Structure 1
């Protein structure tokens, strides 16, 4: 089968299209013939660091990157009960860990997958994985009806899902982006838009119950200024919360935490339900051929992507 491997840490020039054997499957796994995959900022960033590659994924070289996949089941393990050959499935595979989805065939635990709704394309399903799971896992059990929610970088891959999921949860949503993406932000259901280039959100907003930080410590610190007592701030831009930020949050009685998304089939099934009912609509800004992975990474690294980038086979 065709696979794209990273021979050594570095730029996208180190991504090579090669022929390797199809993966074997464990008793609890299915073999997916990939129809579409998605790329994420973590893919682009981690390829530059040998330490990061070994720590998050695997020390093996060459290494197959990727976690997002949508496709058709072509084989099932002996203990698989949820899926049969011919089912169309999608999911985020083995994150954190070694997903190996930059390939024509992917071995995936059945517990990490969900059935693709009939009204969703493979491309739409492939992008509604790591980014959508991140948004869902950040907000579930924290955002409730009528909460005021602030989502930073609302036009990005994670952000555009977060807006829609927050609205589904019944929240009043404020999202930041550049002015050129204002109409896109509002079309997703956001109640307010803030242009981060011309407006200081910390001087405009008050009484925010939940902040979704996708930017890092500086933005998180400013966000504390607009929050209600007993609010929650979840960051996906920091591996751990700095002590100074915890100290700033303590007098406000605001809970601040960092999170890392994790593969979860139940959460994927929830996202499948949102896709099916039309309350979650992924925005795919670019679709590349699988062999053009380097171009997909270049687009991702430009920092100008609205929504998500997909690749098809």
Structure 2
């Protein structure tokens, strides 16, 4: 319908909703004085729109549509969107606490490690249920651990003890002196430990992981990590070879085909953010698994961050990313 006609219909329906007694218009229990219905315009062509109707529940949609004639019903875009809440990002303090169900960004670690970040959730052929994804140096203590070792949430640096066990180390890619592609490990969740794979700031990520050869420089990206929380950055280099990473014990391992990220203002990550999943801001497609960084050298200050292409991590460990949508 023409945009002016849609505005008239929107105004008329808004009046009806505002004048009706409580409970007479919608079926759901909307909070406060809200009717439970939001109305807008959804463009479909030049000066042509549909009336956008957003409701809490399916029953609400039926009652709103009953108020329209057949011609108007053909010109509406109705969607059941459920409860609407502020999309707040968790603070570092919240991410460092014991949290159930588990969500991406939380403090997590092997008992012999200080703390890193729970990046997200995956599945692996031959292993039942969800697995936690993070780094080798977070979940497997830089090759020092044994499969079957416990994993804690929060990590020991944040007060985690044996009582905070969430699962067991299931698989990790061991380091070699040169030519490493990933710093990655997974842990199977214990029975009764619930998880919300969609619990990223802003909602679930796409289930399609960006292929390693399709990661483009200059893309804006985001992550949520145990130390710095939800941050935004920009990919400044791809296919970076020879990245030397000095681990706690002083050993340097080099990595090839890595992604470099800089924060848009200050640091994109700091110590303890290792294991975070990085996603593109444009479409929320997962891109990388954060594993290391520097404190200097970034054009915006705060150094640079390095990440394994997430597609490579999944291929090496035989994983499937779980978006949670």
TM norm structure 1? 0.25
Higher strand share: 2
